[in-house]
Amino acid sequence: MQDVHDHVSSDQLAFASGTTGPETSELNQLLLRKIRTHRWLSGLGVMNKNGVFVGAVNRNRPQDVGADFSFRKYFSYLASHKNENQYFSPVFKETETDDIWLACSRALRLKQGQFDGVIFAGLSGRYLADEMGDINFAEGGSIAIVDIYKGLWFRNPPVSGTVGGKVVDPNLDAFLSSGRDSLTYIGFSPFDNKRKIISFQRTHQFPYMVAVASNVESELVGWYQKGIIYSFGWLLSMIILFLLTYILIRLNSAKNRKLQRALEEIKTLEGILPIWSYCKKIRDDKGYWEQVEVYVSRHSHADFSHSICPD
């Protein structure tokens, strides 16, 4: 809408005699490019300061160029509020087709502070139905868009006779008066009176809310299944941890026993040994002289094999 605003000229706003003028054709070409690249737009138009459409394109019906829509609330609101540049309507039914629409409007101010007209954009509930029609919700789940006046713009799956009407829910009333951005609670759906988990989320800068509901029983089944999986995973992890700990303890125990046996078998000779310089006998602690091979054999695990050297 800002781009449309920047391309509108004073000559186009002054021309409103029909659809054949060059000013109108040029403006309609701009609007047509916008509506083709923005699928959610069902209608797009430019009104002059008198409320007359000087350019308009629509997907499903003839153009409104030359029509006087000054009686529309969005026009009168922006014309009378000099400091406001945007207006968002409640949900309404389009008069000729009964399609559910939202109207977003922006004031045209070619000169600062001066009201020169309005850019109108009609957003289609049918587009959202096409876009979200294949979403796979949990059993009994739904998604909806509600305006701040509690008007229902869109709901999937649809409920006959509810779109375009008011949502009657005390929790929604409390949420709107609280000023909070979101609300989640367990309650009974105003559409099918079933117990559900319901969440409302405001959309920033726009007076609409997204409402998502899911069946309590379906959600609990999912949580129950997840709980079983998590519990089994935790138990399996503990068993693996126990087995690893047990194996490590057994390995360390066997290693320690082997080391202890090795320590017990080690015998060492240390210190100064008195040895007779001629016969090579060793004197023990009791003063007795022993053959060197006898002494060493008694104090270590060494054995001797006697032989004769060349000398």
Q: How far lies 237's CA from each of 168, 187, 225, 231, 233, in Å?
A: 50, 38, 18, 10, 6
How far apart (Å, rounded) are the C-alpha atoms in residues 126 and 225? 37
How far, in Å, CA of 119 to CA of 1, rounded? Answer: 7
Residue 225 is predicted with a pLDDT of 65
Quote the percentage of the chain above a pLDDT of 70.
Answer: 83
- Per-residue model confidence (pLDDT) at position 265: 59
**What is the edge-to-edge ordering of all strands in the sheet holding 152-156?**
152-156, 142-147, 208-215, 195-202, 182-188
- Higher-confidence position of 121 and 2: 121
pLDDT in tens, 248-289: 888 888 888 888 776 665 555 666 778 888 888 888 777 888
- Report whether pLDDT(81) > 60: yes
Whether 147 and 207 have beta carbons less than 8 Å apart is answered as yes
β partners of residue 200 = 183, 211
pLDDT in tens, 33-70: 888 888 778 888 899 888 888 888 887 766 778 888 88
In the predicted model, is pLDDT for residue 131 greater than 70?
A: no
On whether the CB atoms of residues 146 and 183 are closer than 8 A, the answer is no
Least confident interval from 146-160, 234-248, 274-288: 146-160
CA-CA distance, 297 to 76, in Å (whole number)?
120
pLDDT band at residue 144 under the 50/70/90 scheme:
confident
Lowest mean pLDDT among 104-113, 131-140, 264-273, 276-285: 131-140
- Name the pLDDT band for 186 (thresholds 50, 70, 90): confident
Question: Once rounded to an integer, what is the mean pLDDT over residues 124-151?
Answer: 68
Q: Domain 2-123 adopts which CATH fold?
A: Beta-Lactamase (3.30.450)
Helix (H, G, I), strand (E, B) or coil at 57: strand
Q: Bigger pLDDT: 159 or 171?
A: 171
Residues carrying CATH 3.30.450.20, the chain: 2-123, 128-215
**pLDDT of 232 higher than 70:** yes
Tell me whether strands 208-215 and 282-283 are parallel, antiparallel or unpaired.
unpaired
Which ranges of the chain would DSSP assign to H, the alpha helix? 2-7, 10-14, 22-37, 73-80, 125-132, 170-178, 216-265, 292-299
pLDDT at residue number 148: 81
Share of the chain above pLDDT 90, in %: 1
Q: Please say whether the beta carbons of 25 and 12 come within 8 A.
A: no
Which fold is adopted by the domain 128-215? Beta-Lactamase (3.30.450)
pLDDT at 20: 57
The reported pLDDT for the residue numbered 139 is 58
